[in-house]
Amino acid sequence: MRRIVIGGNWKMQVTSTTEAVSIADDIAQGLSTLSSVHVFIAPSFTELYSVNKAVKETQLKLAGQNMYYHEKGAFTGQISPLSLANLVDYVILGHSEPRRIFGETDEFIRQKLLKALEIGLIPVLCLGETAKEREEGNTKAILHQQLAGSLKGLQIEKMKMIILAYEPVWAINNKFLNPDTEIRPATPIEANETHTIIRDWLKNEFGAPVAEEISIIYGGSMNAQNAKELLALDQIDGGLIGGASLSAEKFLPIIRTAAHLLENRSTDYRWESNTLRFDE
């Protein structure tokens, strides 16, 4: 089902439980009138238990930042999908940080994706090219490679569960990923082009009706200012936000923008509860 999704990826930025719970509480309170948008945050694994307790009865959902594909066993340092499923609804997979810093491959990501689907977690599959790959004219090839590597041959019913996140590496506010290039958000034209490449690949692989049902969200230096023009595009169904998700003050305006812009679209979002409008 195509949804409007705004996710907050906290990465390794919030290292105290008290702080994590306090930010999550603030975000959850601000959401009480915003049910047209599906919102999640992904705190560190060590904060998930406490944050889960704090937001359980609210509309704010949680995501794991990654997971392993075996359920149990001698895998030092890994997170079991079963442990995660007790605490979260979503799991971020294939993010450029584990891909490009820790060497995760498409096949490794595919295994995790299959496991996430098997146990009922919603995968948020991230894709994106580096500045060099873009400069060399390889954006489409890289996206196709990442899509095929993790999704080719997937059953249509499973495909419909997945959220895709286009995150150009060069736009992610991360100096380790981008040591030599200026970090900037994608322009609406760039984002529209790549989202269209992704949706066209989905059409070819799974057919147009399925492709139209899949949410493709954008990530990379998104904030309250640039969210307005990015989320105004029909091809962008939400955002995956790093830095600007670390406080309610920065995160809620993005969610508000999403709610305002997207509810007026012709796309059938078929949200489960469509009762509200956001009060400024």
How far is CA 153 from each of CA 203, 205, 216, 273, rounded to the nearest angstrom?
13, 8, 19, 32
Min. distance of Cβ 82 from ligand 13P in angstroms? 24
Kindly name the residue from 47, 104, 129, 167 that is annotated as catalytic. 167
Whose Cβ is closer to ligand 13P: residue 36's or residue 221's? 221
Q: How far apart are CA 124 and CA 9, in angstroms?
A: 11
Q: How far is the CB of 100 from ligand 13P (least distance, A)?
A: 11
Smallest gap from residue 124 Cβ to ligand 13P (A): 9
Whether 144 is a known active-site residue: answer no
**C-beta closer to ligand 13P: residue 19 or 263:** 19
Decide whether 7 or 81 has the Cβ nearer to ligand 13P.
7
Least distance between ligand 13P and beta carbon 65 (Å) = 9
Helices (H), the chain: 17-30, 45-55, 81-85, 96, 106-119, 131-135, 139-151, 156-159, 188-206, 208-213, 224-231, 248-262
Choose between 54 and 172: whose C-beta lies nearer to ligand 13P: 172
For ligand 13P, the closer of residues 92 and 206 by Cβ is: 92
Retrieve residue 39's tokens. 């919102």
The tokens of 222 are what?
């998104």
Q: Which DSSP letter does residue 161 get?
A: T
Partners of 202 in the β-ladder: none
**CA distances from residue 52 to 65, 73, 79, 84, 237 in whole angstroms, order as listed:** 14, 25, 17, 11, 25
Task: Select 131 or 210, whichever has its Cβ closest to ligand 13P.
Answer: 131
Distance of CA 209 to the CA centre of its chain: 22
Interacting residues toward ligand 13P by CB under 6 A: 9, 95, 167, 172-173, 219-222, 240-244
Q: Residue 276 CB, nearest distance to ligand 13P (Å)? A: 26
157: nearest Cα among 128, 120, 198: 120
Which is nearest to 27 in space by CA: 250, 241, 273, 265?
Answer: 250
Q: H or E segment at 218?
A: strand 216-219
| Min CB(92)–ligand 13P separation in Å | 7
52 contacts: CB under 8 Å, gap ≥ 6? 62, 87, 88
Active site residue 71: no
Q: Which residues are catalytic?
A: 95, 167
